[in-house]
Amino acid sequence: MGHRAKNKQSAPKPLEGMPKPSAKKLGKRKAEVIDDKPSGRPTKRTKDQQIKSNVHSVNVKNDKTKQKKPKTDADAWEDIKDDIDIKAQTRSLFHGSDMDEEETFTGNLNDIEVDEDELLRGEVEEFDFDSDEVELPPQQFSSRIKKSKQAERPLKIIPNASDNSDSDEDSDDDPVTMANMETKSRALEARAAKEAQLDLDEIQAAAEMEDGDDFDMEDVEDDDENGEADGETFNLPTAEEREAERNAGGPDVHVVQRRMRECTRVLQKFKKRAEKGRSRAEYTSQLISDIASYYGYNEFLAEKLFLLFPVAEAIEFFEANEVPRPVTIRTNTLRTRRRDLAQVLINRGVNLEPIGKWTNVGLQVFESSVPIGATPEYLAGHYMLQAASSFLPVIALSPQPGERVLDMASAPGGKTTHIAALLQNTGVVFANDANKARTKSLSANVHRLGCKNVVVCSYDGREFPKVMGGFDRVLLDAPCSGTGVISKDSSVKVNKSERDFTLLAHLQKQLILCALDSVKPESKSGSYVVYSTCSVTVDENEAVVDYALRKRPNVHLVDTGIGFGVEGYTSYRGKVYDKSVKLTRRFYPHVHNMDGFFVAKFKVEKRSKKMLSGDKEQDNVGEETVTADRVDGDGEKVTFDDEEDKPYIEESKRRYLKSKGLRVPPRTAAVVKA
Ligand SMILES: C[S@@+](CC[C@H](N)C(=O)[O-])C[C@H]1O[C@@H](n2cnc3c(N)ncnc32)[C@H](O)[C@@H]1O
């Protein structure tokens, strides 16, 4: 069995209220673009169209004719709480960029020393950040979008046989006249749309076929196969042919498309469809290389992302990264109610609807005749422009009024302000970010949204809990590679190397231990830590979570409470993670029509003797907890070794004393050694 089959996840469950956007739908979107006909609701919008109606767009005319009222679905509004405190007064406004964007890691990765000892001692290193790195308003953001081959390709990813055949009906040979020009052009558009649809149907069908299959499909019955899906023979290029192709400046886009289709087809039923004498690795290598060139990735990242999914699903993932995600806003319940906000925005010419049943504050904006980032309501802090995926970690954190919360990496404050709203301006949120420049937009957002319970600070997260500890809940929305937000920032496609992932994972591991140590295990209402990233790689997600579970025997994973999402990997490419890691959740652009995201929720317990012997108290009724049978990366059960833990306990006591301003004893030899 191939290693990819081993790691294949079960089919993602359809999301209630947010149906899985199939490849078919993505195809439809394409078709609509070609068609350019006004439809009831624009489900597909190009990046340019979307950006036009997005934040800070000053050139959008107030064209009331554009206004499209959404059909009012009474049910969709039922989940709005009527008893929310409304504070509609407009406060003094802060100017500047306040877009909530997932910030991928911007520090100097060379500053992270990969030193396991250092990690455990938790000594904080100086960390350089590019002080100019502030979140960009969308116009600037769009200018960063790198054009891939996708931009110049025909409007379909994998063409079918009809692409190369001369169809009678298109009568391409007829001369183009003024009289037939429009008809001809419409016919061409319709054909392209139809073909795009057919191709994507094909991928979808392939994906469905693959569900339930082991990927090497040794025992799959094959009825109609002779290795030539479209009547034309496909020969996988040899190493020499590939070399010659490279020397000639790379393959033609149509050649790449055809090869992608053929390699996908072969890899799905390798034994039946592969050319004699050619290995699976050869097909995979060709496909990855073609994906990289077609979508504009470096080969390293193309492979890393490709390996996350079964073949056909991988193509869907790459394709979804070429499509912008929906524009969404989060109602600021400190200032207004969703229903009221929606009404005001509809009156201004914004076409919107509730995002789905899973959130009672989110609205999806389909079209707007006003700049959605510059309306009076926006400036008055009635809403935050925020990707739907960014709601998820805060839903998981579920802060309760009166609590003390740490948002460890918080700028520009999308999640901080959400937390403040859920706390109903009670308790306190310490909003920290190591990048001082970014705390400016964080403060601006905090003020604009009327959050009165937020303290902004700027420390390296690894200084916690030395700076301050004893929190009821901690959110670590970690700096990451941004492989989940490629549709927003395509520079990720080419600027990440293997070393970046190693260093980022190391930083994330350091931060997560500090986050866990900053929580008060005896909190009456909390003792939770949420770890999230806008990345889909396993190194930055499950591997970090598993590491934390191994290093902190007093913590365990609990259900995120989000209600949808794909289970985290419990094994991946030969590595075995704690089986409780399945409680973490992955979110994907091609499955959930959201940015790629990862969320894990930990419960922190007191370190008692009883727990150390594996018999933990079940004081968290109502939550699914998995505590026993922890397995480490080598497949061995992890036992808790008092001797081994001693230095960590001692170090944490030192931190505690220091945080209380008490005299700290010198480190013992055991601690220094650890
Ligand atoms: C994904 S962004 C956070 C987005 C934010 N939570 C929001 O919702 O608006 C990650 C943040 O981590 C910050 N960061 C990077 N390294 C850090 C460190 N060592 N300690 C604290 N923050 C750090 C970056 O400056 C960046 O703002």
Instruction: Please report the atom of ligand 1 found closest to the CA of residue 407.
Output: 6
Whether the pLDDT of residue 536 is over 90: the answer is yes
CA of 474 to the centre of ligand 1 (A): 13
Overall average pLDDT of the 228-255 stretch: 82
- Is the pLDDT reported for residue 593 higher than 90? yes
266-286 mean pLDDT: 94
Would you say residue 622 has pLDDT above 50? no
Mention every residue, 6+ apart, whose C-beta is less than 8 A from residue 319. 23, 26, 157, 203, 590
Q: How far is the CA of 458 from the centre of ligand 1 (A)?
A: 10
Task: Compute how many other C-beta atoms are within 10 angstroms of the C-beta atom of residue 533.
Answer: 29
pLDDT-derived band at 607, boundaries 50, 70, 90: confident
Dihedral (CA of 438, 440, 446, 449) sign: negative
| Ligand 1 pocket test, candidate residues 108, 407, 410, 518, most atoms within 8 A of CB | 410
What is the chain's mean pLDDT, rounded? 72
**Band of residue 312 on the pLDDT scale cut at 50, 70, 90:** very high
Contact 539, 505 (CB under 8 A): yes
Peptide bond into 412 cis (omega under 30): yes
The per-residue pLDDT for range 609-621, each reduced to its tens digit, is 655 555 433 333 3
Annotation marks residue 514 as catalytic: no
The strand pair at 473-477 and 528-533 is best described as parallel
pLDDT over 90 (residue 544): yes
| Whether residue 488 has pLDDT greater than 70 | yes
**Residue ranges at the known binding site for S-adenosyl-L-methionine:** 409-415, 433, 460, 477
Single out the residue of 480, 478, 618 nearest to residue 556, CA to CA.
618
Instruction: State the ipTM, two decimals.
Output: 1.00
Q: Check residue 161 and give its pLDDT.
A: 27
Q: Do residues 442 and 480 lie in contact, with contact meaning Cβ atoms separated by under 8 Å?
A: no
What confidence score (pLDDT) does residue 205 get? 53
Per-residue pLDDT tens over the stretch 107-150:
555 455 443 333 333 333 322 222 222 233 333 223 333 334 33
Q: Which pLDDT score is estimated for 600?
A: 98
pLDDT of residue 62: 34
* Candidate from 110, 134, 435 with most ligand 1 atoms within 8 A of CB, to mutate: 435
The CA R_g of the chain, rounded to the nearest whole Å, is 26
- Name the percent of the chain lying above pLDDT 90: 53
Q: What is the pLDDT of residues 370-409, one digit of tens each?
A: 999 999 999 999 999 999 999 999 999 999 999 999 999 9
Q: Is the pLDDT of residue 636 over 60?
A: no
Ligand 1 atom nearest residue 102's Cα: 1
| Cβ neighbours of 149 (radius 10 Å) | 16
Measured in angstroms, how far is the CA atom of residue 89 from the centroid of ligand 1? 31
Query: pLDDT higher for 368 or 3?
Result: 368
The answer on pLDDT for 573 being more than 90 is yes
pLDDT at 153 over 90: no
The one catalytic residue among 263, 451, 480, 534: 534
Lowest-pLDDT choice from 61-70, 259-268, 323-332: 61-70
Could you write out the DSSP letters of every residue in 202-267? HHHHHHHHHTTS-TT-TT---SS-SS-TTSS---PPPHHHHHHHHHTTS--HHHHHHHHHHHHHHH
DSSP 346-390: HHTTEEEEE--TT-SSEEEEEEESS-TTSSHHHHTTSEEE--GGG
List the residue whose alpha carbon is closest to atom 6 of ligand 1: 410
pLDDT tops 60 at residue 329: yes
The CA distance from 578 to 546, in Å, is: 6
- Position 629 scores a pLDDT of 33
CA of 435 to the centre of ligand 1 (A): 7
Choice between 162 and 428, residue whose per-residue pLDDT is larger: 428
Angstrom distances, CA of residue 249 to CA of 242, 244, 246, 252, 671: 11, 9, 5, 9, 57
Q: Which residues line ligand 1 (CB under 6 A)?
A: 100, 102-103, 107, 127, 390, 408-415, 433-435, 438, 460-462, 477, 479
pTM beyond 0.80: the answer is no
Specify the pLDDT at position 233: 75
Give residue 550 CA to ligand 1 midpoint distance, Å. Answer: 24
Say whether pLDDT at 42 is over 70. no
Of the CA atoms within 13 Å of residue 276, those in its CB half-sphere come to 1
Among 470, 481, 357, 350, residue whose Cα is nearest residue 406: 470
Return the best residue to mutate from 119, 433, 445, 513 for the ligand 1 pocket (most ligand atoms within 8 A of CB): 433
